[in-house]
């Protein structure tokens, strides 16, 4: 494996009630986060292909971990998102290199499908920085009930020469969706949008 992983964390959130209403079945989100060494930290590196290769590995590993944490087959996942935080000696472009060119393909392979763009966020930050992972329906970005987010944080990451990479997967949308828009049972699933 190219990625030098220091730690991996998995989070599962299950919401059973909201505003005193029962959520049945509960909504569930999972995120898997890897803290890896940033081989490009501390200097300007023109060719970021090493980071792209790390992204490809992490796409598969983190998606598998997130789906396993939910205890569902990949194709039952409904929404997804990704996020990264670069430590102080790295640049935002490093987060882009890990995530955008190659991370998505293995995510979609694990989930069976995924016509929609994987919503993403990135930042540079110190230990304990909060990642707000945006979430959207995996086959149709316009499904309004599935616009959501998941916050993750590790108190001891990222160190200055590290990158923290997260993939989030859900088996549901928001707990009490009622703002209209495209519904999941209306998805055509051809263009990734509707």
Partner 1 sequence: MPELVVRKKMTCIEEILHEGGAIAATPLRRAAVLTVIRNPFAGAYVPNIEGFMDDLKPLGLDMACTLVQALGGDANVVEGYGKGAIVGAAGEIEHGALWHVPGGYAMREVLGGAKAIVPSTKKVGGLGTRLDVPITHINASYVRSHFDAMEVGISDAPRADEILLALVMTTGPRVHARVGGLKASEVKGEDGLR
24 binds partner 1 (CB under 8 A): no
User: Taking every pair of C-alpha atoms in the chain, what is the biggest distance, in angstroms?
Assistant: 54
**CA distance linking residue 110 with residue 74, whole number of Å:** 6
Can you tell me which of 154, 163, 164, 169 binds partner 1, judged by CB under 8 A? 154
User: Which residue, 52 or 154, has its beta carbon nearer to partner 1?
Assistant: 154
Contact 33, 180 (CB under 8 A): no
Which CA distances in Å does 126 have to 19, 98, 134?
35, 18, 20
Can you tell me which of 51, 147, 153, 185 binds partner 1, judged by CB under 8 A? 153
User: Which residue, 133 or 140, has its beta carbon nearer to partner 1?
Assistant: 133
7 binds partner 1 (CB under 8 A): yes
15 binds partner 1 (CB under 8 A): yes
**CA distance linking residue 176 with residue 174, whole number of Å:** 6
Contact 188, 194 (CB under 8 A): yes
**CA distance linking residue 91 with residue 39, whole number of Å:** 12
155 binds partner 1 (CB under 8 A): yes
Q: Report in angstroms how near the CB of residue 87 gets to partner 1 at its nearest.
A: 14
14 binds partner 1 (CB under 8 A): yes
- As given in the structure block, the two tokens for residue 147 are 């616009």
User: Which residue, 78 or 162, has its beta carbon nearer to partner 1?
Assistant: 162
13 binds partner 1 (CB under 8 A): yes
Can you tell me which of 9, 53, 160, 193 binds partner 1, judged by CB under 8 A? 9
Question: Cβ–Cβ contacts within 10 Å for residue 111, how many?
Answer: 21
- Tell me the number of residues near partner 1 by CB under 8 A: 21
Using CB under 8 A, list all residues that contact partner 1.
5-18, 26, 69, 130, 151, 153-155
């Amino acid at each position: 494996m190219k990625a030098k992983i220091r730690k991996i964390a998995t989070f599962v959130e299950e919401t059973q009630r909201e505003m005193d209403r029962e959520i049945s079945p509960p909504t569930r989100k999972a995120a898997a986060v890897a803290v890896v060494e940033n081989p490009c930290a501390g200097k300007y590196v023109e060719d970021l292909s090493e980071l792209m290769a790390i992204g490809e590995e992490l796409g598969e590993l983190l998606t598998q971990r997130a789906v396993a944490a939910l205890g569902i087959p990949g194709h039952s996942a409904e929404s997804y998102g990704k996020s990264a935080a670069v430590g102080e000696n790295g640049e935002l472009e490093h987060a882009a290199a890990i995530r955008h060119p190659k991370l998505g393909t293995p995510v979609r392979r694990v989930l069976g499908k995924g016509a929609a763009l994987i919503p993403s966020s990135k930042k540079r930050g110190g230990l304990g920085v909060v990642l707000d992972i945006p979430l959207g329906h995996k086959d149709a970005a316009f499904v309004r009930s599935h616009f959501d987010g998941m916050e993750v944080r590790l108190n001891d990451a990222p160190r200055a020469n590290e990158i923290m990479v997260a993939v989030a997967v859900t088996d549901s949308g928001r707990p009490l969706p009622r703002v209209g828009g495209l519904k999941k049972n209306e998805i055509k699933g051809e263009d990734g949008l509707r």
